[in-house]
Amino acid sequence: MEYRRLGKSGLQVSALSFGSWVSFSKQINDKVAEELMSIAYDHGVNFFDNAEIYALGESEKMMGRVIKKKKWDRTSFLVSSKVYFGWRGKENKPNQTGLSRKHVIEACDEALKRLQVDYLDLYFCHRPDKNTPIEETVLAMNHLIQQGKVLYWGTSEWSGVEIMEAHRVAEKYRLIGPTMEQPQYNMFERNKLENEYLGIFKTVGLGTTIWSPMASGLLSGKYNDGIPKNSRFALQGFDWLRDRWMLDDNLKKVKKISELANKLGVSTAALSIAWCVKNQNVSTAILGATKKQQLLENLKSLDVVPMLTPELMEKIETILKNKPKLPDF
């Protein structure tokens, strides 16, 4: 396993990490969750990603039960939560969502109980909150760090302007600013990592824990001939995800990427993940899995990175035709 620093911090995170979105509680039970987390841990994965909204809190509870049972040395792994959406679904009341000081702090306490840990290594603002001043959120996160409940805080799907505003506030009041951002990044979703955040990488620094490196499974190639039963796109309530990715143009590109993968003798999934990890501004790529073999195959993606020569990367660009255009100045 390769380990990378999380932005400009001294924290080292495995280049591949393991997340629970969609799968935990919805697709797999405790036994499978334990098997998958154990495989990940034994292969050097040291970061396990979660959020209050995932399965309305049940995902964190499931991960917490596994962590308690495994009795891993707490200093050997990182665990995260995210705050914004709340966990009560349609029953959420006004102060049970968003990034107010009240919700940020109370959601942290709730996540600690569900995950059965004393502190969160990483705590993300799951989305920007247009109704709460960034100053209030930065102060709340700094408070949690001072209490020892959180070690590093960050953002998810924030704009570059919003991230820099958080840093401006932190510098003004001598507080701790955001260390990391969790954006979506894959062959079809590239602008934030390859354009919008470039200035931040070069100045204050920014770690990235990217989600959906396979575009919710589309870049695994398993949807090339339709939607398999029990797959993510077949789940009830995930029509929006299917409609987002199952486009004719995308499918044509995935089939061509699959042809390249076959020539290399690797899986389409491994090639897609390796393509993400090759970007040195990616601190870690979060993997999701419901089966042992699926996870083992995806963990091989680091072996594919050295195969991504400039010539091969150019072939991929020829297929994708979506490289972000950078400003001329």
Active site residues: 54
Report the C-alpha gap between 290 and 27 in whole angstroms.
7
CB 124 within 8 A of CB 155: yes
| DSSP β-ladder status, 120-125 and 150-155 | parallel
Beta strands 12-14; 3-5: pairing state: antiparallel
Alpha-carbon distance 19 to 59, whole Å? 10
- Which token pair is 151? 């070690």
Identity of the amino acid at 84: Y
Q: How far, in Å, CA of 45 to CA of 125, rounded?
A: 23
Q: Name the β-bridge partners of 285.
A: 16, 210
